[in-house]
């Protein structure tokens, strides 16, 4: 399986495999439900941390990876002034345009980091998580970070649209996936069967997300995997199922990204998939895929 995995990744982009072994920094953002940015930075600097600002993301900072273990004992972390979160996840969440009157659905929300981002910008957020243990950890996470405008639901996201058709102004789906971007050593749990199983689930989830979105609304589909079956293949499926749907371009303000694939193993995708983004692992970024989808008015 390891040889097959590596061969597939090399075909996508040969830069990915060596980058999976390198992680030089980690990132965090300020939790504005409890602290201002100057207050949080003062706590960090008092304990010897020197965070570096991320140019494209307000109130997001990085530190060297060797500080990762120490920071979880720092006051800024224990008092929930900061939230440790991967730069790719932060960028994906920031790519969803949210207004102060918006109602946002986070369809596969645990552990809740993106819902917390949305809660600082939106009127209210509905966070859905099917796994009971992950659901209660997510609820505790929201409470500890002081977010009071998040509703939580222990439900299967595939069926949310049945009770909430066209309710939400914005939808975010960071879909469960084969998590190829998290493989940084021996390949033990990956298989093509796993990829195809997740692709089936993702198609069910993206239909639910799209059906839950108001006409004219915007949603983000994202994964932390490289598999085209789970990325471009799912977007291609949605565009074919809903002819009035469309993709809006995403313009990353960093250089470690590539265009999505237009073809994979004999299958050619809708050319609009090129408006999505594949983020390549680098520094505080993990591998990620995201696409911004606009729902048709009819």
For the chain, how many residues are written?
Answer: 298
> Are 297 and 216 contacting, i.e. CB atoms less than 8 angstroms apart?
yes
Residues catalogued as catalytic: 224
For 130, residues 6+ apart whose C-beta sits below 8 A from its C-beta are 154, 155, 156, 157
Is there a contact between 222 and 253 (Cβ–Cβ < 8 Å)?
Answer: no
β partners of residue 289 = 223, 278
Could you give the CA distance from residue 205 to residue 252 in angstroms, rounded to a whole number?
25
Closest CA to 276 of 237, 249, 294: 249
Residue 161 is given by DSSP the state H
Q: Is the Cα torsion angle 175, 29, 213, 254 positive or negative in sign?
A: negative
DSSP type of residue 282 = B
Among candidate residues 98, 52, 34, 13, the one with its CA nearest the CA of residue 280: 13
- The CA dihedral of 31, 35, 36, 37, to the nearest 10 degrees, is -60
Longest CA–CA span in the chain (Å) reads 57
């Amino acid at each position: 399986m390891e040889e097959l995995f590596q061969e597939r990744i090399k075909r996508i982009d040969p830069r990915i495999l060596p980058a999976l072994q390198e992680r030089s920094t980690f990132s965090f953002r300020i939790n504005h439900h409890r602290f201002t940015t100057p207050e949080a930075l003062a706590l960090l600097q008092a304990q010897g941390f020197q965070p570096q600002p991320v140019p494209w993301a307000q109130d997001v900072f990085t530190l060297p990876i060797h500080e990762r273990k120490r920071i979880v004992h720092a006051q800024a972390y224990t008092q929930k002034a900061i939230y440790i979160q991967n730069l790719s996840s932060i960028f994906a969440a920031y790519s969803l345009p949210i207004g102060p009157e918006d109602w946002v659905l986070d369809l596969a929300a645990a552990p809740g980091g993106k819902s917390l981002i949305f809660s600082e910008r939106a009127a209210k957020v509905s966070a859905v998580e099917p796994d009971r243990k992950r659901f209660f950890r997510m609820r505790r996470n929201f409470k500890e970070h002081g977010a009071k405008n998040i509703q939580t639901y222990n439900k299967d996201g595939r069926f949310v649209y049945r009770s909430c058709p066209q309710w939400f102004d914005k939808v975010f789906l960071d879909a469960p996936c084969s998590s190829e971007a998290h493989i940084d050593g021996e390949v033990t749990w990956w298989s093509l069967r796993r990829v195809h199983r997740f692709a089936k689930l993702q198609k069910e989830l993206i239909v639910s997300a799209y059906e839950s979105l108001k006409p004219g609304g915007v949603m983000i589909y994202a994964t932390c995997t490289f598999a085209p079956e789970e990325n471009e293949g799912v977007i291609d499926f949605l565009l074919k199922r809903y002819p009035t749907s469309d993709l809006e371009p995403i313009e990353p303000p960093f250089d470690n990204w590539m265009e999505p694939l237009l073809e994979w193993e004999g299958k050619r995708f809708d050319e609009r998939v090129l408006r999505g983004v594949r983020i390549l692992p680098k520094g505080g970024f993990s591998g990620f895929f995201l696409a911004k989808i606009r729902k048709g008015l009819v």
